[in-house]
Structures are given as C-alpha cells and as structure tokens.
Amino acid sequence: MRARYLAAATAVWVTAYLLVYVAVIDQQGDTSVAWWYVALVGVAGLFLAGAAIGRAPMFVLILAVASLAVSMIIALASIVLLLLPAVLGAAAVIGLGGAERPG
C-alpha cells in the first residue's frame, strides 16, 4: 500500500513540475514550450498514476523511471532539481516491490 501512495505522490509531483516548466518557459517569452518534453514527462506521470491505482506492472514503472531520468538529463541546464524527487520517488516505488494489486 505504501508503494501506491508513493506512486500517487510522485504523479502529483510530476504534474506540478510540468506546470512550473510550462510557466517558466512561457514567462521567458523568447522560446516556445518543448511539447515533446512535456509529453515525455507526462507519459511517466501517467505510468505513475497507473501504479497508484494498482494497474501498472513492474516494467511500466521501470519505463517511468527511465523516462524521468532521461528528462532530468535533458533539463540539466535549467530546472533539473525540481525533477529529482520524481525520479527518486518512482525508483522507490520499484524498491518497495511495485504497486500491483495482488491476485
């Protein structure tokens, strides 16, 4: 059960991160939002939401961690520290044994 709560909290964090990212890029004004990046992080958030409701197998969580890690590497020059808790949270869900419903 702890893994599902952690997956839910991490999905919320990813959503908040995306909102901050879009707001920061929008305020800069001289560049447009990289929607491919939003999609990359958003897919990881959807995978984590699936884990939170108990419908994501372990390989989906591994894909979520990989997606967030790649996103974090891409964002090294800007707001990477805001994404670090999401990567750690998703990895912790895997460490807790995933969030699948037994049976």
Query: For each of the chain's 103 residues, which pLDDT tens digit applies?
Result: 788 898 899 999 999 999 998 998 888 877 888 899 999 999 999 999 998 888 878 888 889 989 988 888 888 777 767 777 888 888 888 887 765 555 4
Whether residue 103 is contained in a domain is answered as no
- Whether 101 is in a domain gets the answer no
43 within domain boundaries: yes
Q: Distances in Å between the alpha carbon of 5 and those of 30, 46, 89? A: 39, 15, 10
Question: 33 to each of 6, 65, 97, 102, how far by Cα in Å?
Answer: 29, 23, 35, 40
Residues found in the chain: 103
Q: Is residue 100 part of a domain?
A: no
- Specify if 53 maps to a domain: yes
Give me the domain span that covers residue 69: 2-95
Total domains present in the chain: 1
Predicted TM-score (pTM) of this structure = 0.77
Residue 99: the pLDDT is: 57
